[in-house]
Structure 1
Amino acid sequence: MTEETRSHPFRDSAQDARAARQIPDTPQTRAPAYRLAFTDTEFLTREELRPVRLQLELLKAQMMLDEYNVRSTIVMFGSARIPAPEDRGTDRPTEALARYYDEARRFAYMMTARCIGPDCLDGVIVTGGGPGIMEAGNRGAAEAGGISIGLNIVLPHEQAPNEYVTPDLCFNFHYFAIRKMHLLMRAHAVVIFPGGFGTLDEMFEALTLIQTGRMKPVPFLLFGGSFWNSVVNWQALADAGTISPEDLRLFRIVETAEEAAAAIDDWHAVRPDIDAPAK
């Protein structure tokens, strides 16, 4: 921030952070108590500062995406373990699901190609930023010449962002809850590919938000009928009365990128309330 863009007459915190690095080295200035609170990592990571860290994670991505003028997104969830073409042939169990990487890549390409250029920031692909299906989504968007968002999270494994995320839109999170909020808060559509615990968690949380009216209805697509109908007995939930029969209409199962794109178009055509602002 420069003096010209500053909205107040006070000295900027960045100026003081720089000035604090130039102070004499004495027992007093070396003591933790003397550090500026907002530059003190040990202080910011204390247990009592969790509310502040939650707010920082919410604000950082919010402010940077707003500054980039991202208006709406297409959310892609799916397994980090489904291999890219160059990684196949290892006899891993997910080899049988490899075609979904290809479909995810083609789908992201198709949706990104609809809106290319600095003035078109609707329907931007957003993923969790990791490997597998997430990489396929970011890769397809990059191959179409567009931007994409990656919302990574620190994990013991699979935590590095894939190389196809737009660098200025590549974020890293500590809190799953804040990450999932940012994944959904600009959603124009949600697309779920085969996945494990993480994908199931993301899918059911999003469905719950829509079912309970906490999130406006959006096109909600599940790629792969054979996978999802074997993993979840949807009809059994309705038959048992734990969900309403109408809840089965909250999502649609598709098999190909073309079918998914057509389903999104049709969904918005027959449900104009989807594009209405959330209350």
Structure 2
Amino acid sequence: MKTRKKKLDEDLLKTALEEENRIRTAFKDKDWAEIKGANSWMIFKVMSEFVEGMEKLAKIGPCVTIFGSARTKPGNVYYKMAEEIAFRLVQHGYGVITGGGPGIMEAGNKGAHRAGGKSVGLNIFLPFEQQGNIYIDKDKLITFDYFFVRKVMFVKYSQGFIVMPGGFGTLDELTEALTLIQTKKIGRFPIVMVGKKYWHGLVDWIKKVLISEKMIHAQDMDLFSVVDTPEDAVKVIEEFYSKYLLSPNF
């Protein structure tokens, strides 16, 4: 019995050592002191991105951010809607912020540019080299290396989020904003999801799973709105500020 147990322990140890060697092999060309040093210097790069972003964005005035897929083509109905929403937002006194790239981001900047309003782009360096679109004001394009710094800028300098159909990045921005508002880490602002058919599955899952499993409160559904038209998207933003600016607790 002892011999069998000893053999089992030896086999487990051998497996653990093999796994450790596999991991070390993956980093064989890395010098750990160099990695740690690089991480220390990274702090200064992060700081520089925060400083540049805050210095430029502190001057832009009230803005609404439009999120959505970079893959959306100009002929797509959501591209046209994003452009129209941006145009209407400018008419109501807002500037428009986007992620600075193509697709829905381009549409948002295009609508703001067409309306003669502020058109801001917070671009990000990506492996496929996302470039800032041509509708961003020349002095209002900022490019980031770090997603988390860029996300802080979106939240800090936006008076509302318009969330068009998109992928993981769009969901990331949406759920982070909802989390920050839900946990009262930031003040509440309007979050508008555009496209009832597109967002139906997610909203239905939130109701049937998150609420029923008591992962969130039922009133958390009030943190966002779902609409189908540019008119209604802008109306949610306007009504939010009309209501809360009149409130003594705002």
| TM-score (ref. length: structure 2) | 0.80
Shift of 1:265: 1.6
Aligned CA distance change for structure 1 residues 273 and 48 (closer, same or farther; 3 Å) = farther
Structure ranking higher in helix proportion: 2
* Structure 1 outlier segments of 4+, above 4 Å: 273-277
Shift of 1:272: 3.2
In structure 2, the gaps of 5 or more residues are 1-36
1:150 to 121, 131, 150: 121
Shift of 1:275: 10
In the alignment, the residues of structure 2 paired with residue 275 and residue 59 of structure 1 have an alpha-carbon distance, to the nearest angstrom, of 33
In the alignment, the residues of structure 2 paired with residue 275 and residue 150 of structure 1 have an alpha-carbon distance, to the nearest angstrom, of 34
In the alignment, the residues of structure 1 paired with residue 163 and residue 228 of structure 2 have an alpha-carbon distance, to the nearest angstrom, of 11
| 1:110 paired to 2:88 | yes
The alignment's C-alpha RMSD in Å is 1.9
In the alignment, the residues of structure 2 paired with residue 63 and residue 217 of structure 1 have an alpha-carbon distance, to the nearest angstrom, of 23
Count of matched residue positions in the alignment of Structure 1 and Structure 2? 212
Maintained 8 Å contact 1:80/1:158: no
| 1:225 paired to 2:196 | yes
Alignment-derived partner of residue 55 in structure 2 = 63
Specify the SS of the correspondent of 2:160: strand
Specify the SS of the correspondent of 1:271: helix
Aligned CA distance change for structure 1 residues 158 and 50 (closer, same or farther; 3 Å) = closer
Maintained 8 Å contact 2:57/2:157: no
Aligned CA distance change for structure 1 residues 158 and 259 (closer, same or farther; 3 Å) = farther
2:99 to 128, 137, 148: 128
Aligned CA distance change for structure 1 residues 274 and 74 (closer, same or farther; 3 Å) = farther
Task: Point out the structure with max Rg over C-alpha.
Answer: 2
Specify the SS of the correspondent of 2:159: strand
User: What amino acid sits opposite 1:74 in the alignment?
Assistant: V
In the alignment, the residues of structure 2 paired with residue 113 and residue 179 of structure 1 have an alpha-carbon distance, to the nearest angstrom, of 26
In the alignment, the residues of structure 1 paired with residue 152 and residue 222 of structure 2 have an alpha-carbon distance, to the nearest angstrom, of 23
Identical positions, percent: 36
Aligned CA distance change for structure 1 residues 61 and 70 (closer, same or farther; 3 Å) = same
Shift of 1:158: 5.5
| 1:72 paired to 2:70 | no
Aligned CA distance change for structure 1 residues 105 and 209 (closer, same or farther; 3 Å) = same
In the alignment, the residues of structure 2 paired with residue 251 and residue 273 of structure 1 have an alpha-carbon distance, to the nearest angstrom, of 20
Alignment-derived partner of residue 163 in structure 1 = 134
Maintained 8 Å contact 1:130/1:158: no
Please give the per-residue CA displacement for 1:37-77, whole angstroms capped at 9, x wherever unaligned: xxxxxxxx9432111111100001111233xx212210111
1:50 to 22, 39, 42: 42
In the alignment, the residues of structure 1 paired with residue 80 and residue 249 of structure 2 have an alpha-carbon distance, to the nearest angstrom, of 32
In the alignment, the residues of structure 1 paired with residue 127 and residue 225 of structure 2 have an alpha-carbon distance, to the nearest angstrom, of 34
| TM-score (ref. length: structure 1) | 0.72
User: What amino acid sits opposite 2:96 in the alignment?
Assistant: I
Shift of 1:184: 1.2
In structure 1, the gaps of 5 or more residues are 1-44, 86-97, 116-122
In the alignment, the residues of structure 2 paired with residue 274 and residue 77 of structure 1 have an alpha-carbon distance, to the nearest angstrom, of 29
